[in-house]
Structure 1
Amino acid sequence: MAVTTEESTVGTLLRAWRTARGKSQLAVALEAGISSRHLSFVETGRSSPSREMVLTLAETLEVPLRERNALLTAAGFAAVYRETPLDAPVMTDVREALSHILRASEPNPTLVVNRRYDLLMANDAAQRFTSFFVPDWRGGPNIIRMLLAPDGLRPYVQNWHEIASDVVHRTRNELASSQTRDETDEALLRDLVTAEAELRRDGRPARTPSILVSMKMRKGDVALDLFTTITTLGTPLDITLQELRIETLFPADARAREALLRIVGSEMQ
Protein backbone atom coordinates (compact mmCIF):
# COMPACT_ATOMS: atom_id res chain seq x y z
CA MET A 1 0.00 0.00 0.00
CA ALA A 2 1.47 3.35 -1.03
CA VAL A 3 -0.29 6.71 -0.93
CA THR A 4 1.63 9.97 -1.36
CA THR A 5 1.10 12.92 0.95
CA GLU A 6 -0.68 14.85 -1.79
CA GLU A 7 -3.17 11.98 -2.22
CA SER A 8 -3.85 11.49 1.47
CA THR A 9 -7.53 12.29 1.64
CA VAL A 10 -9.61 10.08 3.89
CA GLY A 11 -11.21 8.52 0.82
CA THR A 12 -7.94 7.55 -0.86
CA LEU A 13 -6.58 6.22 2.44
CA LEU A 14 -9.66 4.08 3.01
CA ARG A 15 -9.50 2.78 -0.55
CA ALA A 16 -5.81 1.94 -0.08
CA TRP A 17 -6.54 -0.01 3.12
CA ARG A 18 -9.45 -1.82 1.48
CA THR A 19 -7.23 -2.79 -1.45
CA ALA A 20 -4.47 -3.90 0.92
CA ARG A 21 -6.95 -6.14 2.74
CA GLY A 22 -8.11 -7.63 -0.56
CA LYS A 23 -11.77 -6.71 -0.02
CA SER A 24 -14.36 -5.42 -2.45
CA GLN A 25 -16.48 -2.33 -1.75
CA LEU A 26 -19.50 -4.59 -1.39
CA ALA A 27 -17.82 -6.83 1.18
CA VAL A 28 -16.64 -3.88 3.30
CA ALA A 29 -20.01 -2.15 3.04
CA LEU A 30 -21.85 -5.26 4.22
CA GLU A 31 -19.48 -5.71 7.18
CA ALA A 32 -19.73 -2.02 8.12
CA GLY A 33 -23.52 -1.92 7.76
CA ILE A 34 -23.62 0.74 5.04
CA SER A 35 -24.46 0.75 1.33
CA SER A 36 -21.73 0.12 -1.22
CA ARG A 37 -22.87 3.33 -2.93
CA HIS A 38 -22.14 5.31 0.25
CA LEU A 39 -18.71 3.72 0.57
CA SER A 40 -17.99 4.52 -3.07
CA PHE A 41 -18.91 8.16 -2.49
CA VAL A 42 -16.63 8.30 0.57
CA GLU A 43 -13.68 6.81 -1.33
CA THR A 44 -14.08 9.18 -4.27
CA GLY A 45 -14.58 12.25 -2.07
CA ARG A 46 -18.18 12.85 -3.12
CA SER A 47 -19.29 12.29 0.48
CA SER A 48 -17.57 13.31 3.73
CA PRO A 49 -17.75 10.57 6.37
CA SER A 50 -18.66 11.29 9.98
CA ARG A 51 -16.19 10.57 12.76
CA GLU A 52 -18.17 7.45 13.68
CA MET A 53 -18.14 6.27 10.06
CA VAL A 54 -14.34 6.66 9.86
CA LEU A 55 -13.91 4.59 13.03
CA THR A 56 -16.39 1.96 11.84
CA LEU A 57 -14.62 1.53 8.52
CA ALA A 58 -11.23 1.47 10.24
CA GLU A 59 -12.46 -1.29 12.55
CA THR A 60 -13.89 -3.23 9.62
CA LEU A 61 -10.59 -2.98 7.75
CA GLU A 62 -8.54 -3.82 10.87
CA VAL A 63 -6.50 -0.64 10.50
CA PRO A 64 -3.79 -0.23 13.19
CA LEU A 65 -4.49 2.42 15.83
CA ARG A 66 -1.69 4.69 14.63
CA GLU A 67 -3.19 4.74 11.14
CA ARG A 68 -6.73 5.23 12.49
CA ASN A 69 -5.51 8.53 13.88
CA ALA A 70 -4.22 9.39 10.40
CA LEU A 71 -7.63 8.57 8.91
CA LEU A 72 -9.37 10.79 11.45
CA THR A 73 -6.96 13.65 10.79
CA ALA A 74 -7.45 13.33 7.03
CA ALA A 75 -11.21 13.51 7.59
CA GLY A 76 -10.86 16.68 9.66
CA PHE A 77 -11.28 15.14 13.12
CA ALA A 78 -9.02 15.00 16.15
CA ALA A 79 -6.99 11.86 16.80
CA VAL A 80 -8.46 9.66 19.54
CA TYR A 81 -5.75 7.09 20.24
CA ARG A 82 -2.87 8.09 22.46
CA GLU A 83 0.74 6.89 22.30
CA THR A 84 2.13 6.53 25.80
CA PRO A 85 5.88 5.90 26.29
CA LEU A 86 6.54 2.51 27.84
CA ASP A 87 8.58 4.14 30.61
CA ALA A 88 5.71 6.47 31.63
CA PRO A 89 4.40 6.08 35.22
CA VAL A 90 0.98 5.06 33.92
CA MET A 91 2.64 2.07 32.24
CA THR A 92 4.02 0.63 35.50
CA ASP A 93 1.59 -2.29 35.57
CA VAL A 94 2.31 -3.05 31.92
CA ARG A 95 6.07 -3.11 32.51
CA GLU A 96 5.61 -5.40 35.51
CA ALA A 97 3.48 -7.76 33.44
CA LEU A 98 6.07 -7.77 30.65
CA SER A 99 8.85 -8.41 33.18
CA HIS A 100 6.89 -11.40 34.49
CA ILE A 101 6.54 -12.78 30.95
CA LEU A 102 10.27 -12.32 30.34
CA ARG A 103 11.20 -14.13 33.56
CA ALA A 104 8.73 -16.94 32.88
CA SER A 105 10.26 -17.44 29.41
CA GLU A 106 13.69 -18.41 30.77
CA PRO A 107 15.84 -20.10 29.56
CA ASN A 108 14.47 -19.12 26.16
CA PRO A 109 15.78 -15.74 24.93
CA THR A 110 12.85 -13.31 24.87
CA LEU A 111 12.70 -9.71 23.66
CA VAL A 112 10.12 -6.94 23.79
CA VAL A 113 10.33 -4.79 20.65
CA ASN A 114 8.26 -2.14 18.89
CA ARG A 115 7.17 -2.09 15.24
CA ARG A 116 10.68 -1.01 14.16
CA TYR A 117 12.21 -3.84 16.21
CA ASP A 118 13.88 -1.40 18.59
CA LEU A 119 14.77 -3.38 21.70
CA LEU A 120 12.71 -2.21 24.68
CA MET A 121 13.14 -5.04 27.20
CA ALA A 122 14.93 -8.40 27.32
CA ASN A 123 15.34 -11.27 29.74
CA ASP A 124 18.70 -12.51 31.04
CA ALA A 125 18.78 -15.35 28.52
CA ALA A 126 18.43 -12.90 25.62
CA GLN A 127 21.22 -10.72 26.96
CA ARG A 128 23.55 -13.71 27.35
CA PHE A 129 22.57 -15.01 23.93
CA THR A 130 23.38 -11.67 22.30
CA SER A 131 26.62 -11.30 24.26
CA PHE A 132 27.75 -14.73 23.05
CA PHE A 133 27.23 -14.00 19.35
CA VAL A 134 27.97 -10.27 19.17
CA PRO A 135 29.80 -9.24 22.36
CA ASP A 136 31.21 -6.10 20.75
CA TRP A 137 28.05 -4.89 19.01
CA ARG A 138 27.91 -1.09 18.93
CA GLY A 139 25.23 -0.60 16.30
CA GLY A 140 22.41 0.43 18.60
CA PRO A 141 19.41 -1.40 20.08
CA ASN A 142 17.67 -2.34 16.83
CA ILE A 143 17.35 -6.07 16.19
CA ILE A 144 16.90 -5.74 12.41
CA ARG A 145 20.10 -3.72 12.04
CA MET A 146 21.86 -6.29 14.23
CA LEU A 147 20.62 -9.05 11.92
CA LEU A 148 21.66 -7.24 8.72
CA ALA A 149 25.06 -5.90 9.78
CA PRO A 150 28.24 -7.76 8.73
CA ASP A 151 29.60 -7.08 12.24
CA GLY A 152 26.32 -8.18 13.81
CA LEU A 153 24.46 -11.49 13.67
CA ARG A 154 24.77 -11.92 9.90
CA PRO A 155 27.96 -14.04 9.88
CA TYR A 156 26.44 -16.47 12.38
CA VAL A 157 23.06 -17.09 10.73
CA GLN A 158 23.62 -19.92 8.26
CA ASN A 159 20.30 -19.35 6.49
CA TRP A 160 20.68 -15.57 6.67
CA HIS A 161 19.21 -14.86 3.24
CA GLU A 162 16.02 -16.71 4.10
CA ILE A 163 15.59 -15.10 7.52
CA ALA A 164 16.58 -11.61 6.39
CA SER A 165 14.25 -11.72 3.39
CA ASP A 166 11.26 -12.49 5.59
CA VAL A 167 12.06 -9.91 8.28
CA VAL A 168 12.98 -7.14 5.83
CA HIS A 169 9.93 -7.67 3.60
CA ARG A 170 7.48 -7.79 6.51
CA THR A 171 8.86 -4.75 8.31
CA ARG A 172 9.28 -2.68 5.14
CA ASN A 173 5.67 -3.31 4.16
CA GLU A 174 4.44 -2.23 7.59
CA LEU A 175 6.48 0.97 7.64
CA ALA A 176 5.77 1.82 4.00
CA SER A 177 2.01 1.61 4.58
CA SER A 178 2.15 4.07 7.47
CA GLN A 179 0.99 7.66 6.92
CA THR A 180 2.59 8.78 10.20
CA ARG A 181 6.26 7.94 9.73
CA ASP A 182 8.78 10.01 11.67
CA GLU A 183 12.48 10.56 10.91
CA THR A 184 13.49 7.36 12.71
CA ASP A 185 10.96 5.38 10.68
CA GLU A 186 12.20 6.95 7.46
CA ALA A 187 15.84 6.14 8.25
CA LEU A 188 15.04 2.48 8.94
CA LEU A 189 12.81 2.28 5.87
CA ARG A 190 15.66 3.51 3.66
CA ASP A 191 17.93 0.82 5.14
CA LEU A 192 15.26 -1.83 4.55
CA VAL A 193 14.77 -0.78 0.93
CA THR A 194 18.55 -1.01 0.41
CA ALA A 195 18.68 -4.41 2.09
CA GLU A 196 15.76 -5.70 0.03
CA ALA A 197 17.49 -4.63 -3.19
CA GLU A 198 20.64 -6.47 -2.08
CA LEU A 199 18.64 -9.60 -1.31
CA ARG A 200 16.98 -9.50 -4.74
CA ARG A 201 20.35 -9.10 -6.49
CA ASP A 202 21.50 -12.27 -4.77
CA GLY A 203 19.23 -14.15 -7.16
CA ARG A 204 18.41 -17.02 -4.85
CA PRO A 205 15.16 -18.87 -5.56
CA ALA A 206 12.20 -18.46 -3.21
CA ARG A 207 12.24 -20.94 -0.37
CA THR A 208 10.06 -24.02 -0.41
CA PRO A 209 6.93 -23.51 1.72
CA SER A 210 7.29 -25.08 5.16
CA ILE A 211 5.19 -25.29 8.30
CA LEU A 212 8.16 -24.07 10.34
CA VAL A 213 11.19 -22.00 9.36
CA SER A 214 14.07 -22.31 11.79
CA MET A 215 16.97 -19.91 12.21
CA LYS A 216 20.17 -21.90 11.94
CA MET A 217 23.01 -20.32 13.88
CA ARG A 218 26.60 -21.36 14.36
CA LYS A 219 29.60 -19.89 16.15
CA GLY A 220 32.64 -22.06 16.70
CA ASP A 221 31.48 -25.48 17.86
CA VAL A 222 28.06 -24.19 18.95
CA ALA A 223 25.25 -24.91 16.47
CA LEU A 224 21.65 -23.91 17.09
CA ASP A 225 18.39 -24.51 15.27
CA LEU A 226 15.83 -22.04 16.63
CA PHE A 227 12.28 -21.05 15.82
CA THR A 228 10.51 -17.92 16.98
CA THR A 229 7.09 -17.03 18.31
CA ILE A 230 5.69 -13.51 18.35
CA THR A 231 3.12 -12.55 20.98
CA THR A 232 1.06 -9.36 20.94
CA LEU A 233 -1.20 -7.82 23.56
CA GLY A 234 -4.93 -8.35 23.16
CA THR A 235 -7.39 -5.48 22.50
CA PRO A 236 -5.07 -2.56 23.37
CA LEU A 237 -6.36 1.01 23.06
CA ASP A 238 -2.92 2.64 23.17
CA ILE A 239 -0.66 2.80 20.11
CA THR A 240 2.44 1.82 22.08
CA LEU A 241 0.76 -1.29 23.47
CA GLN A 242 -0.67 -2.36 20.12
CA GLU A 243 2.75 -2.14 18.48
CA LEU A 244 4.58 -4.16 21.17
CA ARG A 245 5.84 -7.59 20.10
CA ILE A 246 7.18 -10.19 22.49
CA GLU A 247 9.52 -12.41 20.49
CA THR A 248 10.82 -15.66 21.97
CA LEU A 249 13.47 -17.98 20.55
CA PHE A 250 12.91 -21.69 21.15
CA PRO A 251 15.29 -24.58 20.44
CA ALA A 252 13.97 -26.72 17.60
CA ASP A 253 15.17 -29.99 19.13
CA ALA A 254 16.91 -31.52 22.15
CA ARG A 255 20.36 -30.93 20.68
CA ALA A 256 19.62 -27.25 20.17
CA ARG A 257 18.25 -26.97 23.69
CA GLU A 258 21.46 -28.39 25.12
CA ALA A 259 23.53 -25.95 23.05
CA LEU A 260 21.31 -23.03 24.08
CA LEU A 261 21.76 -23.89 27.75
CA ARG A 262 25.53 -23.82 27.25
CA ILE A 263 25.16 -20.22 26.09
CA VAL A 264 22.60 -18.82 28.52
CA GLY A 265 23.69 -20.85 31.57
CA SER A 266 22.65 -24.25 32.83
CA GLU A 267 21.34 -22.67 36.09
CA MET A 268 18.35 -21.46 34.08
CA GLN A 269 17.04 -24.97 33.46
Structure 2
Amino acid sequence: MSDVGPLLRHWRTARRLSQLALAAEAAVSVRHLCFLETGRSSPSRAMVLRLAEVLDVPLRERNALLLAAGFAPVYRESDLDAPELASVRGALDAILAQQEPFPALVMDRDWDIRYANAGARRFFAFLQGGRTATPPGPPNVLRRMFHPDGVRRHVTNWEEVAEALVRRARREAIGGVTDERARRVLDEVLAYPGVPASLASVDAGAPLLPVVPVRYARAGREFDYFSTVTTLGTPQDVTLQELRIECFFPADDATRSHARHLAASAAAPAASA
Protein backbone atom coordinates (compact mmCIF):
# COMPACT_ATOMS: atom_id res chain seq x y z
CA MET A 1 0.00 0.00 0.00
CA SER A 2 1.22 3.52 -0.84
CA ASP A 3 2.45 5.77 1.97
CA VAL A 4 1.27 8.91 0.21
CA GLY A 5 -2.22 9.00 1.77
CA PRO A 6 -1.20 10.24 5.23
CA LEU A 7 1.05 12.86 3.63
CA LEU A 8 -1.80 14.16 1.48
CA ARG A 9 -4.02 14.36 4.53
CA HIS A 10 -1.22 16.10 6.44
CA TRP A 11 -0.90 18.80 3.77
CA ARG A 12 -4.66 19.24 3.41
CA THR A 13 -4.91 19.75 7.17
CA ALA A 14 -1.93 22.13 7.18
CA ARG A 15 -3.65 24.21 4.50
CA ARG A 16 -6.92 24.09 6.47
CA LEU A 17 -8.93 22.63 3.61
CA SER A 18 -11.79 20.17 3.86
CA GLN A 19 -11.88 17.17 1.55
CA LEU A 20 -14.77 18.85 -0.27
CA ALA A 21 -12.80 22.06 -0.81
CA LEU A 22 -9.67 20.27 -2.01
CA ALA A 23 -11.66 17.98 -4.29
CA ALA A 24 -13.37 20.98 -5.87
CA GLU A 25 -10.09 22.82 -6.41
CA ALA A 26 -8.37 19.76 -7.88
CA ALA A 27 -11.39 18.71 -9.98
CA VAL A 28 -11.62 15.22 -8.45
CA SER A 29 -14.44 13.52 -6.59
CA VAL A 30 -14.57 13.64 -2.82
CA ARG A 31 -14.89 9.86 -2.83
CA HIS A 32 -11.69 9.44 -4.84
CA LEU A 33 -9.82 11.88 -2.60
CA CYS A 34 -11.03 9.99 0.47
CA PHE A 35 -9.78 6.73 -1.04
CA LEU A 36 -6.38 8.30 -1.76
CA GLU A 37 -5.99 9.57 1.81
CA THR A 38 -6.98 6.26 3.35
CA GLY A 39 -4.84 4.19 0.99
CA ARG A 40 -7.75 2.41 -0.66
CA SER A 41 -6.60 3.88 -4.00
CA SER A 42 -3.16 4.79 -5.29
CA PRO A 43 -2.72 8.11 -7.10
CA SER A 44 -1.12 8.46 -10.49
CA ARG A 45 1.96 10.61 -10.85
CA ALA A 46 -0.16 13.31 -12.48
CA MET A 47 -2.64 13.21 -9.61
CA VAL A 48 0.11 13.64 -7.00
CA LEU A 49 1.44 16.67 -8.84
CA ARG A 50 -2.05 18.12 -9.30
CA LEU A 51 -2.91 17.83 -5.61
CA ALA A 52 0.52 19.20 -4.64
CA GLU A 53 -0.05 22.21 -6.88
CA VAL A 54 -3.47 22.95 -5.39
CA LEU A 55 -2.09 22.53 -1.86
CA ASP A 56 0.87 24.81 -2.66
CA VAL A 57 3.30 22.17 -1.43
CA PRO A 58 6.98 23.27 -1.58
CA LEU A 59 9.05 21.53 -4.24
CA ARG A 60 11.12 19.60 -1.68
CA GLU A 61 7.93 18.18 -0.20
CA ARG A 62 6.47 17.44 -3.65
CA ASN A 63 9.44 15.17 -4.24
CA ALA A 64 8.64 13.48 -0.92
CA LEU A 65 5.02 12.97 -2.02
CA LEU A 66 6.17 11.42 -5.30
CA LEU A 67 8.56 9.07 -3.52
CA ALA A 68 5.84 8.03 -1.07
CA ALA A 69 3.56 7.26 -4.04
CA GLY A 70 6.27 5.12 -5.70
CA PHE A 71 7.46 7.65 -8.29
CA ALA A 72 10.83 9.28 -8.90
CA PRO A 73 11.28 12.90 -7.82
CA VAL A 74 10.94 15.46 -10.60
CA TYR A 75 12.44 18.58 -8.98
CA ARG A 76 16.21 18.80 -8.74
CA GLU A 77 18.14 20.42 -5.90
CA SER A 78 21.14 22.27 -7.29
CA ASP A 79 24.16 23.75 -5.60
CA LEU A 80 24.09 27.55 -5.74
CA ASP A 81 27.60 27.45 -7.21
CA ALA A 82 26.50 25.18 -10.08
CA PRO A 83 27.21 26.60 -13.57
CA GLU A 84 23.54 26.27 -14.57
CA LEU A 85 22.58 28.76 -11.84
CA ALA A 86 25.05 31.43 -12.98
CA SER A 87 22.27 33.64 -14.36
CA VAL A 88 20.38 33.41 -11.05
CA ARG A 89 23.48 34.35 -9.08
CA GLY A 90 23.89 37.31 -11.41
CA ALA A 91 20.32 38.39 -10.67
CA LEU A 92 20.88 38.05 -6.93
CA ASP A 93 24.08 40.12 -7.17
CA ALA A 94 22.17 42.83 -9.05
CA ILE A 95 19.42 42.97 -6.41
CA LEU A 96 21.94 43.18 -3.58
CA ALA A 97 23.95 45.87 -5.34
CA GLN A 98 20.83 47.90 -6.10
CA GLN A 99 20.03 48.06 -2.39
CA GLU A 100 23.24 49.91 -1.51
CA PRO A 101 24.02 51.64 0.78
CA PHE A 102 21.29 49.87 2.76
CA PRO A 103 21.58 46.24 3.92
CA ALA A 104 20.33 43.30 1.89
CA LEU A 105 20.96 39.58 2.16
CA VAL A 106 19.98 36.23 0.71
CA MET A 107 19.08 33.41 3.08
CA ASP A 108 18.10 29.78 2.60
CA ARG A 109 15.35 27.72 4.21
CA ASP A 110 17.42 27.30 7.39
CA TRP A 111 17.83 31.09 7.71
CA ASP A 112 21.54 30.72 6.88
CA ILE A 113 22.89 33.81 5.12
CA ARG A 114 24.20 32.79 1.70
CA TYR A 115 25.01 36.24 0.31
CA ALA A 116 25.09 39.75 1.74
CA ASN A 117 25.79 43.11 0.15
CA ALA A 118 28.45 45.53 1.35
CA GLY A 119 25.77 47.55 3.15
CA ALA A 120 24.85 44.57 5.31
CA ARG A 121 28.46 43.69 6.05
CA ARG A 122 29.24 47.31 7.03
CA PHE A 123 26.16 47.65 9.20
CA PHE A 124 26.57 44.42 11.14
CA ALA A 125 30.31 45.02 11.57
CA PHE A 126 29.41 48.43 13.03
CA LEU A 127 26.95 46.81 15.46
CA GLN A 128 29.56 44.23 16.50
CA GLY A 129 31.95 47.12 17.23
CA GLY A 130 35.09 45.01 16.98
CA ARG A 131 33.78 42.20 19.19
CA THR A 132 35.26 38.86 18.18
CA ALA A 133 32.58 36.70 19.83
CA THR A 134 29.89 35.66 17.36
CA PRO A 135 26.89 33.31 17.43
CA PRO A 136 27.71 29.62 16.79
CA GLY A 137 27.57 28.00 13.38
CA PRO A 138 27.40 29.64 9.95
CA PRO A 139 25.98 33.18 9.67
CA ASN A 140 22.28 32.80 10.39
CA VAL A 141 19.53 35.42 10.75
CA LEU A 142 17.85 33.76 13.73
CA ARG A 143 21.09 33.11 15.61
CA ARG A 144 22.28 36.64 14.89
CA MET A 145 19.08 38.14 16.32
CA PHE A 146 18.66 35.85 19.36
CA HIS A 147 22.17 34.93 20.54
CA PRO A 148 23.76 37.08 23.29
CA ASP A 149 26.84 37.50 21.06
CA GLY A 150 24.72 38.66 18.13
CA VAL A 151 22.97 41.99 17.57
CA ARG A 152 20.26 41.48 20.18
CA ARG A 153 21.74 43.98 22.63
CA HIS A 154 21.51 46.74 19.99
CA VAL A 155 17.87 46.15 18.99
CA THR A 156 15.77 48.57 21.05
CA ASN A 157 12.48 46.82 20.18
CA TRP A 158 13.95 43.33 20.41
CA GLU A 159 10.94 41.53 21.93
CA GLU A 160 8.63 42.84 19.20
CA VAL A 161 11.08 41.78 16.49
CA ALA A 162 11.76 38.40 18.13
CA GLU A 163 8.05 37.57 18.31
CA ALA A 164 7.57 38.51 14.66
CA LEU A 165 10.54 36.36 13.63
CA VAL A 166 9.30 33.35 15.58
CA ARG A 167 5.85 33.69 14.06
CA ARG A 168 7.32 33.99 10.57
CA ALA A 169 9.65 31.01 11.06
CA ARG A 170 6.82 28.83 12.31
CA ARG A 171 4.49 29.93 9.52
CA GLU A 172 7.11 29.06 6.89
CA ALA A 173 7.69 25.66 8.53
CA ILE A 174 3.99 24.68 8.62
CA GLY A 175 3.49 21.46 6.74
CA GLY A 176 7.11 20.54 6.23
CA VAL A 177 7.68 16.91 7.14
CA THR A 178 10.91 15.81 5.43
CA ASP A 179 13.42 18.26 6.89
CA GLU A 180 13.65 19.35 10.51
CA ARG A 181 16.70 21.62 10.20
CA ALA A 182 14.86 24.94 10.31
CA ARG A 183 12.81 23.77 13.29
CA ARG A 184 15.95 22.70 15.10
CA VAL A 185 17.49 26.14 14.58
CA LEU A 186 14.33 27.76 15.94
CA ASP A 187 14.33 25.46 18.99
CA GLU A 188 18.01 26.26 19.51
CA VAL A 189 17.58 30.04 19.51
CA LEU A 190 14.54 29.90 21.78
CA ALA A 191 16.74 28.15 24.36
CA TYR A 192 19.40 30.89 24.38
CA PRO A 193 19.95 32.76 27.67
CA GLY A 194 17.67 35.73 28.13
CA VAL A 195 15.08 34.64 25.56
CA PRO A 196 11.60 34.88 27.18
CA ALA A 197 9.88 31.52 27.61
CA SER A 198 6.68 33.08 26.26
CA LEU A 199 8.16 33.11 22.74
CA ALA A 200 7.96 29.31 22.66
CA SER A 201 4.16 29.54 22.58
CA VAL A 202 3.83 32.19 19.85
CA ASP A 203 0.92 31.30 17.56
CA ALA A 204 2.06 30.92 13.95
CA GLY A 205 -1.50 31.36 12.74
CA ALA A 206 -2.02 34.80 14.25
CA PRO A 207 -2.28 37.69 11.77
CA LEU A 208 1.02 39.23 10.76
CA LEU A 209 1.65 42.95 11.05
CA PRO A 210 2.04 44.69 7.66
CA VAL A 211 5.49 45.97 8.64
CA VAL A 212 7.62 45.20 11.69
CA PRO A 213 10.28 47.89 12.17
CA VAL A 214 13.67 46.93 13.54
CA ARG A 215 15.26 49.70 15.59
CA TYR A 216 18.99 49.57 16.31
CA ALA A 217 21.08 51.84 18.50
CA ARG A 218 24.83 51.96 18.99
CA ALA A 219 27.49 54.60 19.62
CA GLY A 220 24.97 57.43 19.70
CA ARG A 221 23.41 56.48 16.36
CA GLU A 222 19.93 55.11 15.82
CA PHE A 223 18.82 53.09 12.81
CA ASP A 224 15.15 52.48 12.07
CA TYR A 225 14.66 49.89 9.32
CA PHE A 226 11.83 47.82 7.91
CA SER A 227 12.38 44.96 5.48
CA THR A 228 10.81 43.33 2.46
CA VAL A 229 11.23 39.64 1.65
CA THR A 230 11.28 38.53 -1.98
CA THR A 231 11.25 35.05 -3.50
CA LEU A 232 12.10 33.91 -7.01
CA GLY A 233 9.04 33.53 -9.22
CA THR A 234 7.91 30.04 -10.33
CA PRO A 235 11.22 28.25 -9.70
CA GLN A 236 11.54 24.62 -10.73
CA ASP A 237 14.55 23.91 -8.53
CA VAL A 238 14.31 23.13 -4.81
CA THR A 239 17.28 25.32 -3.89
CA LEU A 240 15.93 28.34 -5.74
CA GLN A 241 12.44 28.04 -4.30
CA GLU A 242 13.83 28.07 -0.78
CA LEU A 243 15.86 31.28 -1.19
CA ARG A 244 14.64 34.47 0.49
CA ILE A 245 15.95 37.92 -0.44
CA GLU A 246 15.57 40.38 2.42
CA CYS A 247 16.13 44.08 1.74
CA PHE A 248 16.21 46.66 4.53
CA PHE A 249 14.78 50.12 3.91
CA PRO A 250 15.26 53.22 6.08
CA ALA A 251 12.11 54.36 7.87
CA ASP A 252 13.41 57.89 8.48
CA ASP A 253 15.93 60.43 7.25
CA ALA A 254 18.30 59.83 10.16
CA THR A 255 18.69 56.17 9.23
CA ARG A 256 19.24 57.11 5.60
CA SER A 257 21.93 59.58 6.61
CA HIS A 258 23.67 57.17 9.00
CA ALA A 259 23.79 54.41 6.33
CA ARG A 260 25.34 56.79 3.82
CA HIS A 261 27.86 57.93 6.43
CA LEU A 262 28.91 54.33 7.09
CA ALA A 263 29.36 53.78 3.35
CA ALA A 264 31.41 56.97 2.98
CA SER A 265 33.59 56.07 5.96
CA ALA A 266 34.30 52.64 4.47
CA ALA A 267 35.17 54.16 1.10
CA ALA A 268 37.50 56.82 2.50
CA PRO A 269 40.40 54.49 3.49
CA ALA A 270 40.21 52.75 0.12
CA ALA A 271 40.34 56.09 -1.69
CA SER A 272 43.31 57.33 0.34
CA ALA A 273 45.18 54.07 -0.24
Normalising to structure 1: TM-score of the pair? 0.87
Q: Distance in 1 between matches of 2:94 and 2:45?
A: 39
Deviation readout 1:107-137 (Å, 9 max, x if unpaired): 1211011011111111111110111112435
Residue 153 of structure 1 is matched in structure 2 by 151
1:24, CA displacement in angstroms?
1.4
Say if 1:176 and 1:189, in contact at 8 Å, map to a contact too.
no
Q: What is the identity, as a one-letter code, of the residue corresponding to 1:190?
A: D
Residue 134 of structure 2: which of 134, 138, 152 is its match? 138
Q: Distance in 2 between matches of 1:253 and 1:19?
A: 42
Identity, % of aligned positions: 48
Say if 2:166 and 2:199, in contact at 8 Å, map to a contact too.
no
Deviation readout 1:168-212 (Å, 9 max, x if unpaired): 232245346322226x546424315536x9434479999997542
1:254, CA displacement in angstroms?
1.4
Residue 188 of structure 1 is matched in structure 2 by 185
Residue 49 of structure 1: which of 43, 47, 54 is its match? 43
Q: Distance in 2 between matches of 1:14 and 1:205?
A: 26
Q: Distance in 2 between matches of 1:110 and 1:90?
A: 24
Q: Please give the residue correspondences for 1:1-269 in structure 2 after superposition, counting only pairs within 5 Å.
A: 9-134=3-128, 135=130, 136-139=132-135, 140-175=138-173, 177-181=175-179, 184-185=181-182, 187-192=184-189, 194=191, 198-201=195-198, 210-265=209-264
Q: What is the identity, as a one-letter code, of the residue corresponding to 2:47?
A: M
Q: Distance in 2 between matches of 1:203 and 1:231?
A: 27
**Bigger Cα displacement from structure 2, 173-182 vs 236-245:** 173-182
Aligned to 1:39, the other structure's residue is in SS state helix
Say if 2:163 and 2:199, in contact at 8 Å, map to a contact too.
no
Aligned to 2:215, the other structure's residue is in SS state strand
Q: Distance in 2 between matches of 1:172 and 1:213?
A: 16
Q: Distance in 2 between matches of 1:244 and 1:161?
A: 26
Q: Pairwise CA RMSD of aligned residues?
A: 2.8
Q: Distance in 2 between matches of 1:235 and 1:171?
A: 21
Aligned to 1:224, the other structure's residue is in SS state strand
Deviation readout 1:218-250 (Å, 9 max, x if unpaired): 112111111000011000000011011110111
Aligned to 1:257, the other structure's residue is in SS state helix
**Bigger Cα displacement from structure 2, 208-217 vs 118-127:** 208-217
- Unpaired runs of 5+ residues, structure 2, are 268-273
**Bigger Cα displacement from structure 2, 47-56 vs 128-137:** 128-137
**Bigger Cα displacement from structure 2, 251-260 vs 198-207:** 198-207
- Unpaired runs of 5+ residues, structure 1, are 1-7
Q: Distance in 2 between matches of 1:76 and 1:205?
A: 37
Q: Distance in 2 between matches of 1:187 and 1:262?
A: 38
